[in-house]
Structure 1
Amino acid sequence: MDRRSFLTKSAVGGAAAAATGTLAAPAYAQGKRTLTMVTTWGRGLAGVHDAAQRSADTITAMTDGQLTVDLKAAGELVGAFEVFDAVTAGQADLYHGADYYFINQHPAYAYFTSVPFGMTAQELANWYYHDGGHELHDELGQIFGLKSFLGGNTGAQSGGWFSKEITGPEDFQGLKFRMPGLGGETLGNMGASVQNIPGAEVYQALASGALDGTEWIGPWADEKAGFQEITKFYYTAGMHEPGAGLSLAFNRDVFESLTPAQQRVCEIAAGEAHQWNLAQFLMNNGAALQRLQSGGVKVLEFPDSVWDAMGVAAKETLDQYAGDDIYDRVRASYNESMAASSGWITESEGTYRAQRDRVMS
């Protein structure tokens, strides 16, 4: 049986069982509990680890210690890219990470982090909280025994660090570049040799020459990672993550064993971490960019020919998964919501920002 058939039949079978079976009263675990959280982040990675720790601490505090979340950073219990399987298998109770790391489980997971030429952070929040995004995330999670929430956001990410200037699409041919998710597949369609390396390992790969370039997050996190010590060519805008969402995902059986009040605390903790983390990144990026420039980093933008080639490659990437029911519904919902949000944001905030910059400069 191929993977697509398996996913479809699993989803249908689970729904049928729920419809025909006898529903027992929920059994809530009693007493104090410790929940093990695994993450895709190395301990201390700026911003992303902070969001995971924020979620863990909030759940512990708001339940007055009835739930204690024990955070295990990448490599402390399982590897960065093993957290999904650890939680679905019950080896850990929840994970914090970027769901686009798990497109091999299902490509629709990319939409809950970011896709090429996708949503900004505000557009993602609009879709997720008010236009069906969370419900689709939950439907996808049911296939794998997960209960997921948005639990952080990096804001718009940079185009990345390169060992040389990028003057045209041909410069991506054979380029050894670190980029996860469908953004990485897009660069692969442009001829790059794309690698998916956990964040904690990127500096060494770049320093050793195993990579010709990398994206990570943005000026603040990138500065903390030290990439400016290796290369000075920095592209501030990229097509791959204009507003990357992070996820807090529970083993579904574990989540359903919590009391309704505890479940609500977990949802609130994820949502609070999402907004807090976005503000953290946006607050720190401007000053960090100025420091990078003062240190000799050359801040650049991709030429239009590169953006055009990225657009063609992105469409090829996104189209290749068409035909899977959940993927198609997630993609359609995402695109419709993005179009609806973008129109008003551009007309209102976009116009205001342009006039503010003109009048107050």
Structure 2
Amino acid sequence: MQDTLSQTAQDGAQLTGRPVISATGLFTPAESITNEELVASFNEYVDRFNAANSAAIEAGEMEALQHSSVEFIEKASGIKARHVMSKAPILDPDIMAPRWDARSNEEWSMMAEIGVAAAKQALERAGRKPEDVDAVLCAASNMERPYPAMAIEIQQALGIEGFGFDMNVACSSATFGIQTAADYIRAGNAKSVLVVSPEITSGHLNWRDRDSHFIFGDVATAVLVEDAAIAPAKHWEILGTKLKTVFSNNIRNNFGFLNRANPETAGTADKLFVQEGRKVFKEVVPMVAQMIIDEAQRLSLDPTALRRLWLHQANAGMNRLIAHKVLGHEANDDESPTVLDTYGNTSSAGSIIAFHLNSDDLAAGDTGLICSFGAGYSAGTVFVRKTA
């Protein structure tokens, strides 16, 4: 088990900067898939599969696939729709996976393209130019390639000097990236850092698996973390951050370049997203809730008095229980807003979407929490307070 807290960075005597969130940005794909559309496609695939294997099914040599339903999806997850970069192939029963044209090395990659769109919005909202930024972190769950780093491509596309690198902590990547950026500010190594999370999660989802075919969607977010000395008047003070990882196989994706060394398993289902959902629910909820409570108390904050929780958008039931444990009562939509219903699970971007879309209405002095959690297990908390 690895439990990491930026205690040295937050409490050290030689720190020079005070990190804040100056602005956020969001890119949303134009296409969206409703549960009704998804179920119709999945059930057509099931019918074709069962018909093609009817003899084996009748002989007991193979189990028949079961239909999905809108009711099943909404009860299991709370998801009603999801945005995607490639809709038609996903809904085609013969394909059931995203498809897009290959891009040359001279063209922007897809992750860079959507990441740049989110980053530009964040910069515009903060009144910043690219030359004002010192570093770019690309924090996402599935990188389009091993190298060159996606962050460096985004950096180049925006025209930013300085440096960039990729980081992957699955669904917690964005909050891990925010703490990393905040530590650069605290240590005086940067004044302005972009944390960009382009999440094309539709590419690693098994759209033919009834238990998970409805989970993921595509999106990109950006968070501009800066020194308070240069931040715009309206910003969010970062009160404290904490990261935690505990190894688990209950959420896993085995895809990687080493797969080519074993052609017999290269196309198997475990090279896509797989999870033991009930185990994840049972183990992650208490871990995350207690982590939030403990860190709030360390920061001399009353967890029950947090004005708003921007939680990871993975499962409505998980968020409901975590919020209840933290706040001490059943949270309403104002206290714990949901974007899961229209965006689906967007991995590390989920809590940032919730923050981006549901933070402008808070008053100066209001305190809240950005929190993400997922495979690893991993969890990250960012406690913030609105200034003006």
Sort the TM-score into its range (normalised by shorter chain).
Answer: under 0.3
Please identify which structure carries the higher helix content: 1
TM-score normalised by structure 2 residue count:
0.23
Please identify which structure carries the higher strand content: 2
